[in-house]
Chain A
Amino acid sequence: MLEVRKLTKVYDDGTVALKEVSFTVPDGEFLVIIGLSGSGKSTLLRCINRLIEPTSGQILWDGVDITAAGQEELRRIRRQIGMIFQQFNLVKRHTVLTNVLTGRLGYTSTWRSLLGLWSREDRARAMRNLELVGIADKAHNRADELSGGQQQRVGIARALMQEPKLLLADEPVASLDPATSHSVMKYIEWMNRERGLTVLCSLHFLSLARRYGTRIIALRAGELVFDGRPEEIDDRRFKEIYGDEAIEVEIR
Chain B
Amino acid sequence: MSERSFYVRWGRYLLLVALAIPLYIWSWRTADINLVDLIQGAPKARPIISDLVRPSLLARERVTLSVSAVVRVPCDAPPPEPPPAEGPTLTLSATCLNARDSLVVSGSGFRPNTPGRLYWRVAGLEGRLRDEPFETDAQGRFTVETDIPPLLAQQGGDHTLEAELKWEAGALRPSETLRTTIDKMIETVFLALMATTFGGLVAIPLSFLGARNLMPTTPWGTTLYVAVRSFFNTARSIEPLILATIFAIWVGFGPFAGVLALSVHTIASLGKLYSEAAENIDPGPIEAIRSTGANEWQVIWYGVVPQIVPPYVSFTVYHWDINVRMSTIIGFVGGGGIGLELQRWINQLQWNSAATAVWAIVLVVSAMDYASAIVRERLV
Q: Mark B278-290, 1 if CB is under 8 A from A, else 0.
A: 0000101101111
Q: Mark A176-188, 1 if CB is under 8 A from B, else 0.
A: 0000000000000
A192 within 8 A of B: no
B111-119, B172-180, B269-277, B292-300: which lies at the A interface? B292-300
The reply to whether B297 and A102 form a contact with Cβ atoms under 8 Å apart is no
Residues of B contacting A78 with CB < 8 Å? 290-293
Interface centre among B217, B282, B293 (most CB of A within 10 A): B293
The reply to whether B217 and A105 form a contact with Cβ atoms under 8 Å apart is no
A28-36, A90-98, A126-134, A204-212: which lies at the B interface? A90-98
Give me the interface of B with A, judged by CB distance under 8 Å: 217, 282, 284-285, 287-295, 297-298, 301-303, 306-307, 309-310
Residues of B contacting A161 with CB < 8 Å? 292
The prevalent SS among residues of A at the interface is mixed
Chain A nearest CB, measured from B181 CB (Å): 42
Chain A nearest CB, measured from B282 CB (Å): 8
Chain B nearest CB, measured from A91 CB (Å): 5
The reply to whether B287 and A105 form a contact with Cβ atoms under 8 Å apart is no
Q: Out of A76, A89, A168, name the residue touching B285 (CB < 8 Å).
A: A89
Q: Mark A95-117, 1 if CB is under 8 A from B, else 0.
A: 00000001111111010011000
What are 18 A-B pairs at a CB distance below 8 A?
A: A12-B217, A75-B293, A75-B295, A76-B293, A83-B288, A85-B284, A88-B284, A91-B303, A93-B307, A102-B288, A102-B302, A106-B293, A110-B295, A110-B298, A113-B294, A114-B297, A155-B288, A168-B291
Residues of A contacting B295 with CB < 8 Å? 75, 105, 110
A79 within 8 A of B: yes
The reply to whether A106 and B287 form a contact with Cβ atoms under 8 Å apart is no
Residues of A contacting B297 with CB < 8 Å? 110, 114
Cα A232 to Cα B107 with chains together (Å):
125
Chain B nearest CB, measured from A247 CB (Å): 32
Residues of B contacting A104 with CB < 8 Å? 292
Chain B nearest CB, measured from A143 CB (Å): 9
Smallest Cβ-Cβ distance to B288: which chain A residue: A89
Residues of A contacting B303 with CB < 8 Å? 91
Cα A91 to Cα B297 with chains together (Å):
16
A81 within 8 A of B: yes
- Beyond A78-B293, A105-B293, A168-B291: 14 further Cβ-contacts under 8 Å? A49-B291, A78-B292, A81-B291, A89-B284, A90-B285, A91-B302, A91-B303, A91-B307, A93-B309, A105-B289, A105-B295, A110-B297, A113-B294, A114-B297
The reply to whether A75 and B307 form a contact with Cβ atoms under 8 Å apart is no
Interface centre among A93, A94, A161 (most CB of B within 10 A): A93
Chain A nearest CB, measured from B309 CB (Å): 8
- Pick the 5 closest A-B CB pairs, nearest first: A106-B293, A79-B293, A105-B294, A89-B288, A89-B284
Residues of A contacting B293 with CB < 8 Å? 75-80, 105-107, 162
Residues of A contacting B285 with CB < 8 Å? 89-92
A158 within 8 A of B: yes
Chain A nearest CB, measured from B228 CB (Å): 22
Cα A79 to Cα B282 with chains together (Å):
22
Cα A219 to Cα B298 with chains together (Å):
34
Q: Give residues 7-27 of A contacting B (CB, 8 Å).
A: 12
Cα A93 to Cα B326 with chains together (Å):
34
Cα A87 to Cα B287 with chains together (Å):
11
Cα A148 to Cα B340 with chains together (Å):
58
Q: Out of A76, A81, A87, A162, name the residue touching B284 (CB < 8 Å).
A: A87
A51 within 8 A of B: yes
Residues of B contacting A77 with CB < 8 Å? 293
The reply to whether A158 and B292 form a contact with Cβ atoms under 8 Å apart is yes
The reply to whether B289 and A94 form a contact with Cβ atoms under 8 Å apart is no
Residues of A contacting B294 with CB < 8 Å? 75, 102, 105-106, 113
The reply to whether B302 and A85 form a contact with Cβ atoms under 8 Å apart is no
Chain B nearest CB, measured from A225 CB (Å): 27
Residues of B contacting A103 with CB < 8 Å? 292
Known: A76-B293, A79-B293, A162-B293. A93 touches B310 (CB 8 A): yes
Chain A nearest CB, measured from B97 CB (Å): 89
Cα A83 to Cα B291 with chains together (Å):
7
Residues of A contacting B287 with CB < 8 Å? 51, 85, 89
Smallest Cβ-Cβ distance to B286: which chain A residue: A89
Q: Out of B217, B301, B306, B307, name the residue touching A113 (CB < 8 Å).
A: B301
